[in-house]
């Protein structure tokens, strides 16, 4: 289903903590954005630079 609509989408936002687990190992035709991963990376950068 998602592959058929991929031409209209820029990315899929995995905005819940369970979604990255559910999509683990699944290859999509569009990028997947793991919001929690980005939050953790940003928080880690903030904590280690100060």
Average pLDDT of the residues in 30-50: 88
Structure tokens at 38: 């980005």
Task: Annotate 16-43 with DSSP letters as a single string.
Answer: STTHHHHTTT---SS-EEEHHHHHHHHH
What are the sequence ranges of the domains in the chain?
A: 2-49
The pTM (predicted TM-score) of the whole model is 0.57
| pLDDT per position as a tens digit, 9-36 | 788 888 887 888 888 888 888 888 888 8
Helix (H) or strand (E) holding 13: strand 12-14
Phi, psi of 42 (to 5 degrees): -65, -45
- Position 8 confidence tier, pLDDT thresholds 50, 70, 90: confident
């Amino acid at each position: 289903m998602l592959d058929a609509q991929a031409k209209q989408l820029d990315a899929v936002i995995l905005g819940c903590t369970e979604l990255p687990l559910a999509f683990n190992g699944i290859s999509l035709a569009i990028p997947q954005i793991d919001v929690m991963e980005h939050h953790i990376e940003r928080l880690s950068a903030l904590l280690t630079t100060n």
